[in-house]
Amino acid sequence: MAMHKSSSGSALGPGGLDLTQAFFKSVMNAAPSSPTKRHTKISVIGAGNVGMAIAQTILTQDLTDELVLVDAIPDKLRGEMLDLQHAAAFLPRTRIQASTDYSVTAGSDLCIVTAGARQIHGESRLNLLQRNVTLFQKIIPPLVRYSPDTILLIVSNPVDVLTYVAWKLSGFPSNRVIGSGTNLDSSRFRFLIADHLDVNAQDVQAFIVGEHGDSSVALWSSISVGGVPVLSFLEKQEITYEKEMLESIHKEVTESAYEVISLKGYTSWAIGYSVANLARSILRDQRRVHPVSVLAKGFYDIDGEVFLSLPAQLGRGGILGVTNVHFTEEEKHRLMNSATTILQVQNQLTI
């Protein structure tokens, strides 16, 4: 079912007559638009709370010329499309389309996948994951068929395993398959550290790496505030700190999503901003470093084909490289444990 109505249609005259020519007269000796002009297209797969928060943030931040929504529920999808289109007077000009047919995604620069199966009461995590794999088998191949040069950005949980699944199903080079990973966890981490020190979170450099989940790793050794490495500064000033205090901050990060879900039923706004932040870095070739889920084989002695979050440079080519961050032995050991945790789940899947 296609819903290709956009907020920029000009066929308003009798019988659908295009009124553009009546409203605007071309200047003399005009040439056609430059063939080098860049038209950016983003497709969001899944029009649930997370998908729509991402779409809304992308629109308000003027990140694309064309935004496409795809979902399996046509009525909700059309309602979401119309609701966004009706805000056209308050937003930068963006063509908004929606369809249950993946052909509408053709020529996308970035495909953001948020769709996922809901957990049934009493269902095991593995069974839920296998149902998500089945769902991805219906989503990823048509995205690849209609946009063979796109970058896949996976947001659906468990994000690390499903990014691996998307990579396998797509046949894409690993630099063009990215998971949202711990980009949001790291934002929560920076907020908590900034809150403790009463500074702006933008002045805090701090990463959570590994699994987007309970086995994530806080890189305390590389935290800096305003360019000052925090732990080495405390040691030089002979200021004592409790390791338990550091662990409690990390625990607060891993539990914060659960708290939001228990209070409002789901998370949406923070992940919306997080994914829009990644989209900006990719499509505008910002070459910024983000902790995102990447193929980690060959980094920090990781052997298996596993996706987990590492600080990576993002640009128009997707993953441009992984930052060579110094890990302490304890941090490296925890990262290996995180990789093992993901691999144990991954190895039980049928793809």
pLDDT tens per residue, range 43-71: 999 999 999 999 999 999 999 999 999 99
Rounded to whole angstroms, what are the CA distances from 308 to 33, 39, 59, 208, 294? Answer: 43, 31, 29, 11, 6
Residue among 196, 212, 290, 333 flagged as catalytic: 212
Domain interval for residue 276? 182-347
Residues 187 and 167 in one domain: no
Weakly modelled stretches of the chain, pLDDT under 50: 5-10
Q: Is pTM, for the whole model, over 0.85?
A: yes
Tell me if 156 is assigned to a ligand binding site.
yes
Strands 41-45 and 110-113: parallel
Tell me if 155 is assigned to a ligand binding site.
yes
pLDDT confidence of residue 238: 62
Tell me if 322 is assigned to a ligand binding site.
no
Residue 6 lies in a domain: no
Give 228's strand partners.
225
CA distance 108 to 94: 14
Tell me if 277 is assigned to a ligand binding site.
no
Residues 135 and 212 in one domain: no
pLDDT confidence of residue 261: 87
Residues 51 and 96 in one domain: yes
pLDDT confidence of residue 6: 46
Residues 118 and 256 in one domain: no
Domain count, the chain: 2
DSSP state of 349: -
Tell me if 175 is assigned to a ligand binding site.
no
Report the run of H or E that residue 84 belongs to, with start and end: helix 74-85
Question: Does the annotation mark 333 as catalytic?
Answer: no
pLDDT confidence of residue 132: 93
Residues 101 and 199 in one domain: no
pLDDT confidence of residue 18: 66
Tell me if 46 is assigned to a ligand binding site.
yes
CA distance 217 to 182: 10
CB contact at 8 A, 185 and 157 = no
Q: Decide: helix, strand or coil at residue 213.
A: coil
Residues 252 and 157 in one domain: no
Tell me if 51 is assigned to a ligand binding site.
yes
